[in-house]
Amino acid sequence: MVYLVIKALVSGVIIAIVSEMAKRSPGFAALVASLPLVSVLGMIWLWRDTSDPARMAAHAGATFWYVLPSLPMFLLIPALLRRGMAFYPALAAGCALTVVLYLAMVWAAPRFGLSL
């Protein structure tokens, strides 16, 4: 249980740091946020918990394919904000687009021989 709390605290601290950095330097905070910190932490936690190379390889490979459908959200949200849409509706539209693209990825991946 202590290990779970430590994982949650480390992950939460990173999110808090990035949100505070964004107040001072949105560009630098975006750079830090774009780093695969969550993925790297997830891989560290998974490796520590399992030490299973096959599971790690499957996780890292699937992460790559799941990152792709999330990328258009980062184009849609700023485009909608620049056109005057309020933040929360723009965020909702970006999240909805991501969900649709995730579903499309889950549907398409097996047809291309990808095991996610």
pLDDT, tens digit (0-9, with 9 covering 90-100), for 16-40:
988 899 899 988 888 887 778 888 8
Report how far apart, in Å, the C-alpha atoms of 102 and of each of 21, 36, 56, 88 are.
Answer: 29, 18, 21, 21
In a domain, 47, yes or no: no
**So what's the pLDDT on residue 55?**
94
In a domain, 2, yes or no: no
Which residue ranges in the chain fall short of pLDDT 70? none
In a domain, 21, yes or no: no
Q: Which domain holds residue 78?
A: 52-116
**So what's the pLDDT on residue 89?**
98
**So what's the pLDDT on residue 81?**
98
Domain count within the chain: 1
